[in-house]
Chains A and B, each alone.
Chain A
Amino acid sequence: MKVFELVEELGLKVFSGHKGLDREISGGYVSDLLSDVMGNAQEAQVWITLQVHQNVMAIASLKDLAAVILVSNLEPQENTKRNSDDESIPILGTSLPAFEIAGKIYQLFNR
């Protein structure tokens, strides 16, 4: 599944990083500890988090993640959006909390 397909399927908001919407998604990872994501997220996963800090994008880029999904209507900081455009890694948004959006994505990958 590609990022734009996930966006359409779940009605996600696209904040930034539009050039990366055709990235292929391998799965997902949920964590709000950036040190944990650095250690344990896998390439091409979508990262579900409530962290909006600029460092989120640096880690997404380091791990070559497919996209970042911000939960519960949170919005990225301006510099985070800029980094997302520079790295072509989309930042997506949902009104749902992490548990629910992770459940929906899990279902999509296991249907």
Chain B
Amino acid sequence: MKQFRTDLHIHTVLSPCGDLEMSPSNIVSIARNRGLDIIGITDHNSTKQCELVWKLGRSSGLTVIPGCEMTSREEVHCLGLFEDFDAMRMFQSFLDQHLIVIPNKPLLFGYQLVVDEDENIMEEVVNYLGASLDVSIEEIEQKVHELSGIFIPAHIDRPRNSLFSQLGFFPPELKVDALQISKNTDEAAIRKEFRISEEITVVKFSDAHFPDDLGKIFTIFEMESPSFGEIRKALHGVDGRKILIPSPSP
């Protein structure tokens, strides 16, 4: 088994709240320089920047998992991660079908840009990506799992847009692969506060919106190789694979 520093919750310049410096090439070079092995690209309700980050990652030895941070109709934020671009594209159609249409106001919400590797603007997404989908968290989870993806409710400790803030307690019919907690949090305290069963894996990711946030917060995945299948196995503790949240550095 090897250890991989993993951060599966990162925004690019496509997210309205993502810094303009979060271009695919910047993200890949900073992630690599700061010692990350595996990153997930999870813009709000869109997957349109994933493929380029994956491509740039491949040529510099960084594993990139395509994904998305979805907003359910209950306004719970949750992560979907996909094994390949076929699954990701099918999920993109689901997003296109269900995102509530609100035109973006860039000066208010921020720019939503798809850029190329030289940071030329290829597309400005016109509908506000911070809006919610018109489907429940369970319907989103089922879609992600139908596409053999990984489903992780995001920053569950936060007082807004989290599983517990929006829904009060863990919904009985929801099937998660893990729960993500925020930086500067303590896993044991959160497990106690929200009564999270020991059977559910907890991971800590950065939710980075700025270059400065990259590389500081990660979870160590102890597994055979940096592949999607191994990530899923590690999240479920299959055959000795493990998840380790490093203690915060002083």
Q: Does chain A bind chain B?
A: yes
Interface residues of A (CB under 8 A from B): 33-35, 37-38, 51-55, 58-59, 77, 79
Question: Interface size bucket, B side?
Answer: 10 to 19
Shortest Cβ gap from B227 to chain A (Å):
35
A37 contacts which of B136, B164, B168, B173 (Cβ < 8 Å)?
B168
Interface residues of B (CB under 8 A from A): 73-74, 136-137, 159, 164-169, 171-173
Shortest Cβ gap from A79 to chain B (Å):
7
For A33, what are the chain B residues with a Cβ–Cβ distance below 8 Å?
Answer: 165-166
B168 near A54 with CB under 8 A, answer no
B167 near A34 with CB under 8 A, answer yes
A53 near B74 with CB under 8 A, answer yes
For A53, what are the chain B residues with a Cβ–Cβ distance below 8 Å?
Answer: 74, 136-137, 167, 171
Main secondary structure of the interface of B (DSSP, over half): loop
B173 near A35 with CB under 8 A, answer no
For A38, what are the chain B residues with a Cβ–Cβ distance below 8 Å?
Answer: 168-169
Q: How far is the CA of A38 from the CA of B167 in the complex (A)?
A: 10
Q: How far is the CA of A33 from the CA of B166 in the complex (A)?
A: 5
Q: How far is the CA of A83 from the CA of B166 in the complex (A)?
A: 19
For B168, what are the chain A residues with a Cβ–Cβ distance below 8 Å?
Answer: 34-35, 37-38, 55, 58-59
B173 near A79 with CB under 8 A, answer yes
B171 near A54 with CB under 8 A, answer yes
A55 near B169 with CB under 8 A, answer yes
A54 near B173 with CB under 8 A, answer yes
30 contacts between A and B (CB under 8 A): A33-B165, A33-B166, A34-B166, A34-B167, A35-B159, A35-B164, A35-B165, A35-B166, A35-B167, A37-B168, A38-B168, A38-B169, A51-B74, A52-B73, A52-B136, A53-B74, A53-B136, A53-B137, A53-B171, A54-B171, A54-B173, A55-B167, A55-B168, A55-B169, A55-B171, A58-B168, A58-B169, A59-B168, A77-B136, A79-B173
